Amino acid sequence: MFDYLIVGAGFAGSVLAERLAAGAGKRVVVVDRRPHIAGNAYDHYDDAGVLVHKYGPHIFHTNSREVFEYLSRFTAWRPYEHRVLASVDGQLLPIPINLDTVNRLYGLGLTALELEQFFAARAEKVEPVRTSEDVIVSRVGRELYAKFFRNYTRKQWGLDPAELDASVTARVPVRCNRDDRYFDDTYQAMPKHGYTRLFERMLAHPNIKVMLNTDYRDIAGEIGYREMIYTGPVDEFFDHRHGKLPYRSLRFHHETYDQAVYQPAPVVNYPNQHLYTRVTEFKYLTGQEHAKTSVVYEYPCDDGDPYYPVPRPENAELYRRYKALADATPGVHFTGRLATYRYYNMDQVVAQALTLYARLCQRSGADAPRTDDHGRDPRVLSAAS
């Protein structure tokens, strides 16, 4: 008899498995219908021996010390600050838009202060800022919006930015200085030996059984368990009773080139050309040295694995109906990007899973989390080697 059946071996499922097993002494079984652990963060060595991310580039960044320290129990880190160039008007320019982006695009020599005035002269007053179009147009004006955001967003989501919540393009800041990093979080790093290794260490506990190539529906009736933690798509759990929740998908086209370097940056975005949105060259991310190089092209599409919840009011409304069903389903806990229909990064999923774990422990009183389950004080940064 297992205490928990955990559906999905991504960050949500694996963090809960690790905490419940190592922190609360529970017996858990983790099932995933894919042939591997790590969910969308899965990485592996391709035929040429280059470490690649099967489901597109995954860069770790967080402002949460708790999340960073928790994951540090399972991996050492490679310091890494992500940088992206966008192909616009025949040039490769820094994105997020910054001082160099504008100066190079228009052949200007503005200072930071002058750039603030440049934006102010072009920004359109939008009250309230509701959509992904509003966010950018109200900050930098319509021309830069059209060059960097409109078409990329249409491609990525199959929707106009005016049809998407502000939160989507608000993920990308606009800067007046020369900071060309994609993220500005406190912690920015890549797991030194890759994500899959991190997950292997997280799941290597005698109380955790992992079953791959297994849909939970095929085994739920056959194995004994007390409660379920579900991290798959929430509408699928309820047989799409209220209709399908839209998830945007991607087709990944992986290529290896017989040259050491392919492009001048880890990621190049293509807002206005090609059917793909971006090209990622993995060696920049991983620091691997290799005579060949591997890249992935991302082609957005509607059908396929569900990768992105689509943030817009009507989908939030439909999700609320599924959430009501989830709340009324005793013995099943819904968590993760797909099960709570949130456009979450990895660190947010880890934080959400840790919060659920704390709630489960609180509920059962006697099983309050033990801080010594790794023989360490969790407040102390502990980088595994």
Binding partner at 232 among ligand FAD, ligand UDP, none, C-beta below 5 to 8 Å by kind: ligand FAD
Distance CA 116, CA 39 (A): 42
Apex CA 380: angle with CA 374 and CA 385, to 5°?
65
346 near ligand UDP, rule: CB under 6 A: no
Residue labelled with tokens 């209220």: 242
CA dihedral 250, 17, 212, 53 (to 10 degrees): 40
Minimum distance from residue 156 beta carbon to ligand UDP (Å)? 4
Q: Which of 214, 230, 227, 220 has the alpha carbon at shortest distance from 339?
A: 230
- Cα distances (angstroms) measured from residue 240 to each of 229, 244, 376: 19, 5, 44
DSSP letters for 289-302? --SSEEEEEEEEES
Minimum distance from residue 335 beta carbon to ligand FAD (Å)? 7
Binding partner at 168 among ligand FAD, ligand UDP, none, C-beta below 5 to 8 Å by kind: ligand UDP
296 near ligand UDP, rule: CB under 6 A: no
Minimum distance from residue 21 beta carbon to ligand UDP (Å)? 31
Q: What pairing do the DSSP bridges indicate for beta strands 28-31 and 247-257?
A: unpaired
> Of these, 74, 80, 344, 357, which contacts ligand FAD (CB under 6 A)?
344
Residue 87, amino acid = S
Q: Which of 212, 179, 195, 184 has the alpha carbon at shortest distance from 94?
A: 179
> Of these, 278, 337, 356, 360, which contacts ligand FAD (CB under 6 A)?
337
**Residues 6 or more apart in contact with residue 110 via CB below 8 angstroms:** 99, 102, 103, 118
**Residues 242-281 contacting ligand FAD, CB under 6 A:** 250
148 near ligand UDP, rule: CB under 6 A: yes
> Of these, 3, 16, 29, 57, which contacts ligand FAD (CB under 6 A)?
57
**Residues 260-279 contacting ligand UDP, CB under 6 A:** 269, 271
138 near ligand UDP, rule: CB under 6 A: no
Residue 89 burial (10 A CB sphere; 0-12, 13-18, 19+): exposed
56 near ligand FAD, rule: CB under 6 A: yes
Binding partner at 80 among ligand UDP, ligand FAD, none, C-beta below 5 to 8 Å by kind: none
Choose between 22 and 84: whose C-beta lies nearer to ligand UDP. 84
Choose between 191 and 300: whose C-beta lies nearer to ligand UDP. 300
**Residues 6 or more apart in contact with residue 187 via CB below 8 angstroms:** 60, 61, 62, 63, 64, 65, 68
- Cα distances (angstroms) measured from residue 20 to each of 76, 85, 341, 353, 379: 23, 42, 23, 11, 19
User: Interface mask (CB under 6 A) for ligand FAD, residues 193-212, using x and -?
Assistant: --------------------
Stretch that binds ligand FAD, among 8-16, 140-148, 149-157, 371-379 (CB under 6 A): 8-16
40 near ligand UDP, rule: CB under 6 A: no
Choose between 315 and 329: whose C-beta lies nearer to ligand UDP. 315
Contact assessment for residue 336 and residue 13, using Cβ atoms and an 8 Å cutoff: yes
**Residues 215-234 contacting ligand FAD, CB under 6 A:** 215-216, 231-232
User: Interface mask (CB under 6 A) for ligand FAD, residues 296-315, using x and -?
Assistant: -----------x--------
Contact assessment for residue 60 and residue 240, using Cβ atoms and an 8 Å cutoff: no
Q: Which of 69, 38, 43, 39 has the alpha carbon at shortest distance from 54?
A: 43
What DSSP state is assigned to residue 41? G
> Of these, 86, 190, 349, 351, which contacts ligand UDP (CB under 6 A)?
86
Choose between 23 and 300: whose C-beta lies nearer to ligand UDP. 300
Contacts with ligand FAD by CB under 6 A: the residue count is: 33
103 near ligand UDP, rule: CB under 6 A: no
Residue labelled with tokens 């849909």: 215
Choose between 7 and 168: whose C-beta lies nearer to ligand FAD. 7
Per the document, the length of the chain is 385
Residues of this chain that bind ligand FAD (CB under 6 A): 7-13, 31-34, 39-41, 55-59, 215-216, 231-232, 250, 307, 336-338, 344-347, 349
Residues of this chain that bind ligand UDP (CB under 6 A): 86, 95, 148-149, 152-153, 156, 168-169, 171-172, 269, 271
